[in-house]
Amino acid sequence: MGKAHVIRDLRDWDRRGWLHGAPPPGWVRILPPALLAGVCAATLTSTAPLDIGFLLGAIPPLAVLSYGPLATALLGALVVTVLVVPAFQLNDPGTTDLLTVSFVAALSVLVSFVRSRRDAQLVTERAVAEAAQRAVVPPLPERVGPVECTGLYRAAQRGTLVGGDFFDVRQGPYGVRAVMGDVQGHGLSAVATVASLLGAFREAVLDQPDPESVAARLDRRLVVDSADVPHAELFATAVLLEFAPDARSVRVVVCGHPAPVLLRDGRAVELEVTAGVPLGLGLAGAGVPRGLTVPLRAGDRLFLASDGVSEARSAAGDFYPLLERLPGFADDEPAVMVRRVWRDVTGHCGTVLDDVTMLVLSPA
């Protein structure tokens, strides 16, 4: 097995619009000096005066998008110099033109200063937000006890690392236990519920004797959280797993969530687990879901995914055929497999509108 870890491709996360706080693309940074150099080259090589001085007036505002106040001031000074130096033959700009360009350059320096201060504040706020979100869903270890782990998480809301999906793998006195779930809603509004459920799971791993009892603890957590909130209707789907000490069997409990898929000998088979009601609807009244114990062999993999995968639709309205596509990725290392599945999902539906989570667990 290769290295296994949570893949939250930050390059994808950083591809938010550059007009909304992301670093500008390279061409935006190159444009001001390139425009200045182009005007200078054109005027120096022309045998007649060129009336293209108006192009220089665009350079200071363009510099604001990607340069600090000092660099913006330098570009503004160069623009004014080019306008007044006779060698460039810019058709003798008048006093009004020079004053206008000088005023625009000075104003651009001021705007650049304000933008730089804003960007510094945004960087700090993003760092704090990222640290808080990683505290809720920390990176998954490559291995927990006898179980190797690989996960992929893509939040539907751009610019966030955590949404309405969650997963975790923990070792406790009763063995290695894993959870994957999907709370009502997605984006930042669901993060508080995710944090509450993961906290309850990490506590239950230490003192609950079986995964059914862990599910009941998570259900109680949601019921309590929504008790004092009128019409809260908090609920979450989840699947819980408990591996035997030697990882040669696993017990699976499903609460309204897509069942795990067993990858074995090049085939993908969804486990036939009796699904219970989602968490938060009162398992005590509806009955604790019945678990299923599945023997595992060397080389087996359990593939868990949120409904953001199975319910991803193409332009024609067709669901993503997960069970048909998974065997084609079964020979890849887990980290490669989840990336390929992600690319295949996005190729199938184009824009993914829901949180997407995948988790691959296999006996070491």
> Tell me, what's the pLDDT at 11?
39
pLDDT tens, residue by residue, 15-24: 445 545 566 7
Global pTM value: 0.69
> Tell me, what's the pLDDT at 295?
96
Confidence of residue 160 (pLDDT cuts 50, 70, 90): low
Question: In this structure, is the dihedral angle defined by the CA atoms of residues 73, 74, 77 and 83, taken in order, positive or negative?
Answer: negative
- Three-class SS of the chain: CCCCCEECCHHHHCCCCHHHCCCCCHHHHHHHHHHHHHHHHHHHHCCCCCCCHHHHHHHHHHHHCCCCHHHHHHHHHHHHHHHHCHHHCCCCCCHHHHHHHHHHHHHHHHHHHHHHHHHHHHHHHHHHHHHHHHHHCCCCCCEECCEEEEEEEECCCCCCCCCCEEEEEEEECCEEEEEEEEECCCCHHHHHHHHHHHHHHHHHHHHCCCHHHHHHHHHHHHHHHHHCCCCCCCCEEEEEEEECCCCCEEEEEEEECCCCEEEECCEEEECCCCEECCECCCHHHHCCCCCEEEECCCCCEEEEECHHHHCCECCCCCECCHHHHHHHHCCCCHHHHHHHHHHHHHHHHCCCCCCEEEEEEEEC
pLDDT: is 120 or 336 the higher one?
336
> Tell me, what's the pLDDT at 60?
93
- For range 332-339, the mean pLDDT: 92
pLDDT tens, residue by residue, 254-288: 999 999 999 999 899 999 998 888 998 877 666 67
pLDDT tens, residue by residue, 127-138: 776 777 677 777
Q: Which of 34-38, 229-233, 270-274 has the lowest mean pLDDT?
A: 229-233
pLDDT tens, residue by residue, 304-315: 998 889 888 888
Q: Which two tokens stand for residue 226?
A: 């929504």
> Tell me, what's the pLDDT at 337?
93
Q: Which two tokens stand for residue 357?
A: 């989570």
The pLDDT of residue 168 is above 90? yes
pLDDT: is 61 or 227 the higher one?
61
> Tell me, what's the pLDDT at 4?
41
pLDDT tens, residue by residue, 71-126: 999 999 999 888 888 877 675 666 667 888 899 999 999 999 998 888 888 878 77
